[in-house]
Amino acid sequence: MTQLPIPRGTLTPDRPLDSLTWLRVGGPADWLFQPADLKDLSDFLKALDPAIPVFPMGVGSNLIVRDGGIRGVVIRLGRGFNTIRIDGLRVIAGAAALDAHVARKAAEAGVDLTFLRTIPGAIGGAVRMNAGCYGRYVADHFVSATVVTRGGEVIMLSPDELQFAYRQTALPPDMVIVEAIFDGPSGDPEALAATMDDQLAKRDASQPTKDRTAGSTFRNPAGYSSTGAADDTMDLKAWKVIDDAGMRGATLGGAVMNTMHPNFLTNAGGATAADLENLGEEVRRKVFQNAGIQLEWEIMRVGEPDPDNKKE
């Protein structure tokens, strides 16, 4: 295996990734790098052979890692990248800070970022995917992000440079977000806490929060506003077209389209990444046959198929 730079953080060869994803599937990364701090990350990427691919991975909440694993270096930020600071109505959050923690900390300080409370995952992924809920999106509150390029340069990016769109940005896949800054409206801490409690109750009543899922599987198929943002009040929802196609409860191996909410692809026990992805593709085929709608994946799928599994 190619010689890699020696960092101060942790560099682990052939690291299985299944335990690091919410769906609990996935083969090994050639290398898993957990940097000690920003300088460690920057120095490592500067010294790393440019031919070696890099994949920044968050908490694995919106991810299928294929059974053959990921070639190159997977970068996972941990302690040192999860701080949350409040300065007036400005919230500065490390990329590894959980969305829910940022929402709570902000609310305690009288800043309304409550829409983040029920979004699974961490801030880095929320920025990269322009996460949103209840009609509010990261793009609505984003000020800037500090990132590390593939070549190890630390730079700051503006909203225009990220080019926010529905569930996506223009951020290169090998660029590592390390911190983001948001502005939120002011609010009463008790009222904000009550809002988040209400959001959690509604989520738990309508979504399979105790099952092994990766959040919403497919993007809602319509409802773009003139600004390019998505309208959460749109009538056409992914779960509805999946249900209408008869795919609620559909199974493949250990994978199932959740009976409580059919837009939640679920590892019901023993599923492989291939089971999950292939069931998702079958759902897309059935929905297209039934409604002429081409569903788009919201879950990110990365890595290589298992070379021993010809069905992938």
Q: Which helix (H) or strand (E) holds 15?
A: strand 10-16
Q: What six digits make up the tokens of 181?
A: 């800054």
Q: Which of 117, 136, 277, 298 is catalytic?
A: 298
Among the listed residues 121, 120, 123, 113, the one whose alpha carbon sits nearest the alpha carbon of residue 145:
123
Q: Which helix (H) or strand (E) holds 64?
A: strand 63-65
Q: Which residues contact 121 (CB under 8 A, 6 or more apart)?
A: 58, 59, 61, 62, 98, 99, 131, 215
Q: Which of 61, 179, 216, 219 is catalytic?
A: 216
Is 90 in the active site?
A: no
Residue 197 CB burial class (10 angstroms; 0-12, 13-18, ≥19): exposed
Task: Using the Cα atoms of residue 308, residue 212, residue 219 and residue 176 in order, give the sign of their dihedral.
Answer: negative
Is 216 in the active site?
A: yes
Q: Which helix (H) or strand (E) holds 293?
A: none
3-state DSSP assignment of residue 112: coil
DSSP result, 122-179: BHHHHHHTT-EETTEEHHHHEEEEEEE-TTS-EEEE-HHHHT-BTTB----TT-EEEE
Instruction: Report H helices in the chain.
Output: 38-47, 99-108, 123-128, 138-141, 159-162, 189-206, 238-244, 273-291
| Dist. CA 99–CA 97, nearest whole Å | 6
What is the residue type of 172?
A: P
Displacement of CA 195 from its chain's centroid (Å): 23
Is 225 in the active site?
A: no
Q: Which of 128, 136, 167, 219 is catalytic?
A: 167
DSSP letter at 45 equals H
* Residues acting as catalytic residues: 167, 216, 298
